[in-house]
Amino acid sequence: MTRVLVCVQPARGHVGPTKPIVEALLAAGHDVTVVTGARYREAFGNATVKLLPPEADFDETDLDGSIPGRAGLKGLKLARFELTNFVRAMPAQLSVLDLDVDVDVVLCDPLFMAGLALVRREHRPRVLVLGFLPFMPPVPSGPDSAILKVLAPWVLRPAQKQARTALGEDPGMLFADWPLHSDGVLQMTCPGFEYPRANAPLHFIGPTTVSATAEHPLPPWWADLDGSRPIVHVTQGTVANDDLGRLVEPAIAALAGEDVLVVATTCGGKLSPGPLPDNVRVAEFLPYDELLPRCAAMVSNGGYGGVNQALRYGVPLVVVGASEDKREVAARVRWSGAGIGRTRASVPPKTLRRDIRAILDEPRYRARAKELAAEMAAGPSMDDVVKLITA
């Protein structure tokens, strides 16, 4: 039996891909303790759950209300604040990590900054990183990142200073680079969707999230997905959906009158009042393992997990995103050839219509998405992942 400590931020996009790994570890007879926020107290089945202190916890459905000082910030100022806030939580996170008891392996969220302190310890358990974000954010790494690299020092400096304060000394590395000093990163994609990295400790395990009808029941209109028209799925994901006018509503407008069926998820957001075009169906959430195999294309703001779930089923993408890690995801979609990626907060309906039509009409995008799907299918099974963690 291996004793595994799992540290994961209380956010749906982080908890979702971690749950199947925890379940597989438990089923194999290993001892698992999960440290996360109060919102996900019941999410991990029979695992022991330890809650983060209030100063390290937050409510992803009300980020401005649960994180003091966040309201009103946008763009690079918001990115700068959030990175510093992640690091500021380190002492509170460490206060609930009882590493004096026997722990063999720590599985750590890359934004759970206690990981920075752990990898610096001389005597420590193995530390593996849960790779459900683009590898090595927030430093811009894509082909279009030259301007952002110039601005990166201004964005990163306060968080680096906070890391020195939290540790009581210079960390000896950029705070965001701590995964490079871990014992491995369980990257939840395939090699064809990540830039080649020399000496990076990457283990490509493919997407792990399960999104089935047990969690998201089918809506009454599900029978409309009968294959008579190409299905285009549109989403702004589970975090950046406070304003569906950035992508979901422009995509609906772009495809009004087109011979496609638009399936949109709001994920807690609200559409503007008024009638929808006849070719649009809307739900709050949908089971991706049922929906995506039926889709001809997906329009997304660039959540790494959702994009990789689409690629798991060979679905080509239009990605428009610039917040959080979404700029990096859009760049990877473009670089990999699996779709069109635009590193912008929004684009007009005319541009979206052109991009979506290209994805539907040009076979190269679907062909490349299917190649990435084959890479994922040939990757390690969950049993293999468990053996990797507990080796």
Token pair of 127 as six digits: 């530390």
Read off the DSSP letter of residue 64: H
The mean pLDDT value for 122-134 works out to 93
Lowest mean pLDDT among 45-49, 149-153, 277-281, 353-357: 149-153
Strands (E), the chain: 3-7, 31-36, 48-51, 105-108, 126-131, 185-187, 202-204, 231-235, 261-265, 280-283, 297-300, 317-320, 339-342
Read off the DSSP letter of residue 225: -
Token pair of 159 as six digits: 């968080």
Between helices 326-336 and 304-312, what is the axis angle to 10°?
30
Distance CA 251, CA 280 (A): 10
| Residues 169-221: tens digit of each pLDDT | 999 999 999 999 999 999 999 999 999 887 778 999 999 999 888 788 899 99
Residues 25, 53 contacting (CB under 8 angstroms): no
Token pair of 286 as six digits: 């949908």
Helix (H, G, I), strand (E, B) or coil at 388: helix
Q: What is the mean pLDDT of the chain?
A: 92
Give the bridge partners for 127, in sequence order: 106
The mean pLDDT value for 111-136 works out to 93
| Residues 54-95: tens digit of each pLDDT | 999 999 888 889 999 999 988 888 889 999 999 999 999 999
Percentage of residues in the chain having pLDDT higher than 90: 76
Which residue segments constitute the domains of the chain, with CATH numbers given? 3-187 (3.40.50.2000), 220-377 (3.40.50.2000)
State the pLDDT at residue 138: 53
The mean pLDDT value for 328-335 works out to 95
Residues 112, 93 contacting (CB under 8 angstroms): yes
| Residues 22-56: tens digit of each pLDDT | 999 999 999 999 999 999 999 999 999 999 999 99
Q: What b/e string do you get for 66-82 counting C-beta neighbours within 10 Å, with b at 16 or more?
A: beeeeeeeeeeeebbbb
Q: What phi, psi does 233 have (nearest 5°)? A: -90, 135
Percentage of residues in the chain having pLDDT higher than 70: 95
Distance CA 324, CA 60 (A): 13
Q: Cβ neighbours of residue 279 under 8 Å, at least 6 residues apart?
A: 229, 255, 256, 257, 258, 260, 261, 262
Helix (H, G, I), strand (E, B) or coil at 205: coil
State the number of CA atoms in the 13 A half-sphere of 348 facing the CB.
Answer: 2
Q: What phi, psi does 348 have (nearest 5°)? A: -70, 160
Spatial CA neighbour of 280 closest among 224, 242, 217: 224
